[in-house]
Structure 1
Amino acid sequence: MIGRLNHIAIAVPDLAVAAAKYRDQLGASVGAPQALPEHGVTVVFVDTGNTKVELLEPLGEASPIAAFLEKNPAGGMHHVCFEVPDLSAAIARLTAEGARILGDGKPRIGAHGRPVIFLHPKDFFGTLIELEEV
């Protein structure tokens, strides 16, 4: 069902500082910040050639990233994102097998302009998984 790894997301307390570190110290190609109010985050994508690193900063106090950073003030890995060819089929299969989809269970548009869902980390060994339709 899952395809290639699309990105690894890292929550950071300061997006500008994190982007500069990846760009200046690691020599990475870093995109422009993108606000995603419907997800409560501002993101920057770091291109690594074979995948991406998504740096996440909270956008507002109600952001799920704000809650994550309260527990992990220095930041840390937040989720991994896998590509799927048919998100509706993936949702049907996962829910039939007992996996929980976060939120209302319906896809939302993600940072790449494609439908995404998030799977409950307790169902996947403590790892939050995002599925993105490609």
Structure 2
Amino acid sequence: MLGRLNHVAIAVPNLAKATRVYRDVLSASVSAPLTLPEHGVTVVFVELPNTKIELLEPLGEDSPIAAFLTKNPSGGMHHLCYEVDDIAAARDQLVKEGARVLGDGKPKIGAHGKPVLFLHPKDFCGTLVELEQA
């Protein structure tokens, strides 16, 4: 079911500062910021040879990232994103196996313009999992 690791997401309290660290200190290629109101975040992607790092900043106080940063003020690893060939089939199989899909269970369009779903961390070893249509 799982394809390649698409990205590791890190919640940050200050996206501009985090971008400078990755771009200027680590000499990484970093995308321009992308605001995703439907997900409540602004993101940048750090491009690596084998995957990406997604830096997430909350977009307002209602953002799920804001709640995460309240518990982790310095930021930290937020989720892992895996690619799947067929997101609806993956969702249906996971639900059949007892996994919980967050939200209404319907894929939303993510930062890469592809459908995504999030899976409850309690069902995946304490890690929030995002699935993205390959």
Q: TM-score range by the shorter chain?
A: over 0.9
Alpha-carbon offset, residue 9 of structure 1: 0.1
Residue number in structure 2 paired with 1:92:
92
Residue number in structure 2 paired with 1:61:
61
Per-residue CA deviations over 1:82-109 (Å, capped at 9, x if unaligned) read: 0000001101100000000000011000
Any idea what SS the aligned residue of 1:32 has?
coil
Write the mapping of 1:25-104 to structure 2, written as runs, cut at 5 A. 25-104=25-104
What TM-score do you get using the length of structure 1 for normalisation? Answer: 0.99
Distance in 1 of aligned mates of 2:114 and 2:30: 20
Residue number in structure 1 paired with 2:127:
127
Distance in 1 of aligned mates of 2:91 and 2:102: 11
Residue number in structure 2 paired with 1:7:
7
Count of residues paired in the alignment: 134
* One-letter code aligned to 2:72: N
1:18 aligns with 2:21: no
Distance in 1 of aligned mates of 2:109 and 2:13: 24
What TM-score do you get using the length of structure 2 for normalisation? Answer: 0.99
Where structure 1 has 5 or more consecutive residues not aligned to the other structure, the ranges are none
Alpha-carbon offset, residue 49 of structure 1: 1.2
Where structure 2 has 5 or more consecutive residues not aligned to the other structure, the ranges are none
Spell out structure 1 runs of 4+ moving beyond 4 A.
Answer: none
Any idea what SS the aligned residue of 1:4 has?
strand
Distance in 2 of aligned mates of 1:111 and 1:123: 24
Per-residue CA deviations over 1:22-59 (Å, capped at 9, x if unaligned) read: 00010000000000000000000000111000000000
Any idea what SS the aligned residue of 1:3 has?
strand
- What is the RMSD computed on CA atoms of the aligned residues? 0.3
